[in-house]
Structure 1
Amino acid sequence: MLSAARLKLTDDESLATFEMDLSAQIWQVKYIGSEVATGLWGIKYTRRPVEILVKVAKSLPVDEALPQCNLKVSTEGVSIDILTPESKARSWKHPIDTISYGVQDLVYTRVFAMIVVKDEQHPHPFEVHAFVCDSRAVTRKLTFALAAAFQDYSRRIKESGEQSKTDNITPQRQKFAIDLRTPEELQEGANEETEA
């Protein structure tokens, strides 16, 4: 299924339309890991966890690499299949209504990070998952794919008049966003916030 999505890409590019195959896209990436986040959405809540995860990844022994994984983005959500040399492959899924934010990191531009919201019984309700892509362009495309999935989910909810099955967990969970600003634009925004 193709869906046209209208998203503001940059100040120089007015609203642009792009088509995204929403049936499912699989990205081959390296999984950096997950870390607790202190907020629901925004670069300010992904930056510190990404810094921690990258620092840990850089300190891995030379003979130990980040695990390869297939990251599948669809209108239903994101599934992660860790591909390990051993027979113990791990996989898990995050439904689209449990992902609150996704972004291409502003410092490590090959890193895609997303915030996943856990249920209210979980001691840390927000968790950042981070992935290293082959290039900055691939990271950007992955971000667009999740944006298209969010947009489709929002459209389906409006059309059906339904509430998300998890809306009873917390009203904040209804918010979700993809930051489509370039890393340079994100940095400018962060600089402006610290000057104010």
Structure 2
Amino acid sequence: MADNEGPVLVQDLPMTFQVKYLGQSDARGLWGIKHTRKPVDLMVAAAKALPPGQVLPIVRLTITVDGVHLETINQEIKNEFEHMAVFFNIESISYGVQDLVYTRVFSMIIVKDNADVKGLNPFECHAFVCESRNAARRLTYALAAAFQDYSRRVKEMQTAEIDEKPPSLKKRFAIDLRTPEEIEADLETEA
């Protein structure tokens, strides 16, 4: 796990981080810290309210050019995350950010597959506690590198003069590389 400062390049991927999984909560929008703040607050409050002896699952989070892989590594925990192994395709991730308040927390918004089903919220926020503020920043940079590679692939397909882009390549995504202090300053100027 790299705790280095500075951007992550596509050739640095895959990158693996050992993090605590805070969980997931519905988000109210596709991208922007305004859509991750409340879910993160709720997940942190739930984690703080865990009964004595119950801990958050530790997961191996791997960022690749294809997406994000999650796999539990503390199998001795007896809860709903006991044998979690999940892959989020890069096309389903719309946003990623280091949290503004909890700077060791990285969160991302996933667009669920059932987004077309009427009445269901299509956006889901997943959050992770990193070992340090720098690790959360590094994780954000790694996802930015994956987005950059995905963007390059989309542009290559477009310039190859394909008549119609596949629907999976029409989705938007964003990564917020500002520091928590810069995000907070921008939010204060908007108020």
User: TM-score per shorter chain, which class?
Assistant: 0.7 to 0.9
Q: Is the 8 A contact 1:97 1:164 kept in 2?
A: no
Letter of the structure 1 residue corresponding to residue 136 of structure 2: T
The counterpart of 2:183, out of the listed 165, 181, 186, is 186
- Say yes or no: does 1:85 pair with 2:76: yes
Q: Which residue of 2 aligns with 1:128?
A: 125
In the comparison of the two structures, how many residue pairs are matched? 174
* 2:20 matches 1:30: yes
Counterpart AA for 1:191: E
Q: Contact conserved, 2:130 with 2:136, CA < 8 A, in 1?
A: yes
For 2:3, the equivalent position in structure 1 comes to none
- What's the offset of the Cα at 1:18? 5.3
Alignment identity in percent?
Answer: 48
Of 151, 156, 165, the residue aligned with 1:154 is 151
Quote the RMSD (CA, aligned, Å).
Answer: 1.9
Could you tell me the TM-score, scaled by structure 2's length? 0.85
1:131-142 mapped onto 2 (5 Å cutoff): 131-142=128-139
- CA separation of 1:17 and 1:143: change in aligned 2, threshold 3 A: closer
Shift of 1:22: 4.5
Partner Cα separation in structure 2 for residue 20 and residue 175 of structure 1: 19
Would you say 1:116 and 2:114 are equivalent positions? no
CA contact (8 A) 1:22 1:75 kept: no
User: 1:26 offset after TM fit, Å?
Assistant: 1.0
Secondary structure of the structure 1 residue equivalent to 2:72: strand
What is the rounded CA distance, in whole Å, between the counterparts of 1:61 and 1:164 in structure 2?
47
> Contact (CA 8 Å) 2:108, 2:125: kept in 1 or not?
yes
Q: Does 1:62 align with 2:30?
A: no
CA distance in 1, matches of 2:26, 2:33: 14
AA aligned opposite 1:73: I
Cα distance in 2 for partners of 1:166, 1:157 equals: 10
- Check the 8 A contact 1:157/1:164 in 2, yes or no: no
* Equivalent residue, structure 1, for 2:96: 102
TM-score by length of 1: 0.83
| Counterparts in 2 of 1:60 and 1:17: CA distance versus 1, 3 Å | closer
1:19 corresponds to which residue? 9
Q: Structure 1: which amino acid aligns with 2:145?
A: A
Q: 1:76 aligns with which of 66, 86, 108?
A: 66
Counterpart CA distance in 1 for 2:111 and 2:176 is 17
Instruction: Provide closer, same or farther for how the CA distance between residues 27 and 21 of structure 1 changes in structure 2, counting only shifts above 3 A.
Output: farther
